[in-house]
Amino acid sequence: MSRRPFVAGNWKMNKGPNEADALARALKAALANQSAVDVAVAPTYVALPAVTSRLKHSGIHVAAQDIHPSVSGAFTGAIGGEMVRQLGCTYTLVGHSERRSLWNEDDALINSKVHAAFRSGLLPIICIGETLSQRDGNQVEQVLGAQLAKGLEGLEADQVASLTLAYEPVWAIGTGRTASPEQAQDTHQFIRRWLSVNFPDFVSKAVRIQYGGSVKPGNAAALMAKPDVDGALVGGAALQADSFAAIVLAAVP
């Protein structure tokens, strides 16, 4: 079974509404003729109205960068899944390594956000990945296995089949240091094998696993040519239309 490539851009805390609208407009033009790759962008919350409205009917999906586990309530400064869904988001990132490290998010909280995403009609893109010391200490499989077991707890097989995993080694994020295509493939293969052990067969065949961490136009094709690398989650290179569009086109089978 072949999986449709999926490339997403995480704009992080960059681009307010005006700049985000300009980038969305440029992407819409640059990607108007491609339909072989699923594409999503994740702007800041305040730019979501501009970007969802700009990208309506463009085929480019919009993702939130995070959601709160609750629908509503006394959670000052937080945003619920239903709120971003109403704006036209179809995806949300969950468990990005910056949320894990800077906001101390643990796997239990991430799991509650994954459930909240499904309740709100959003498809989660769940980020997992090891630190450099964990890789050097040969703990990659143990770390990823625990993130998967806890992050996916309580989900139905159909839900797991529909979500996206983003393997983002922490040491490769924003560092210019990318996992080699072989390292990415080995780790993605481990993730898919983990899924096949823990869920019915159709799940591991369907789940798309993106690679993230210093993906650029120059390295994207080699990474995504690997059989278990189904796309990319792009940070810095997603902030310019030409480089992000080049990465999307590198994913065309």
Q: Could you say which residues in the range 188-217 bind ligand 13P, by CB under 6 A?
A: 212-215
- 49-54 contacts at long range (C-beta below 8 A, 24 or more positions apart): 49/17, 49/87, 50/17, 50/18, 50/20, 50/21, 50/24, 51/20, 51/21, 51/24, 52/87, 52/88, 52/89, 53/88, 54/21, 54/24, 54/25, 54/28
66 in contact with ligand 13P (CB under 6 A): no
Q: Could you say which residues in the range 160-179 bind ligand 13P, by CB under 6 A?
A: 168, 173-174
Catalytic annotation on 168?
Answer: yes
235 in contact with ligand 13P (CB under 6 A): yes
Residue number, 37 or 203, with CB nearest to ligand 13P: 37
* Dist CA 80 CA 98 (whole Å): 19
65 in contact with ligand 13P (CB under 6 A): no
- Look-up of token digits 């990823």: 144
10 in contact with ligand 13P (CB under 6 A): yes
Q: Could you say which residues in the range 111-170 bind ligand 13P, by CB under 6 A?
A: 168
Per the residue annotation, which of 96, 98, 105, 188 is the catalytic one?
96
Q: Site for ligand 13P (CB under 6 A): which residue of 234, 247, 249, 250?
A: 234
Catalytic annotation on 57?
Answer: no
233 in contact with ligand 13P (CB under 6 A): yes
**CB neighbour class for 194 (10 Å; exposed up to 12, middle 13-18, buried from 19):** middle
Query: Could you list the residues that contact ligand 13P (CB under 6 A)?
Result: 10, 96, 168, 173-174, 212-215, 233-237
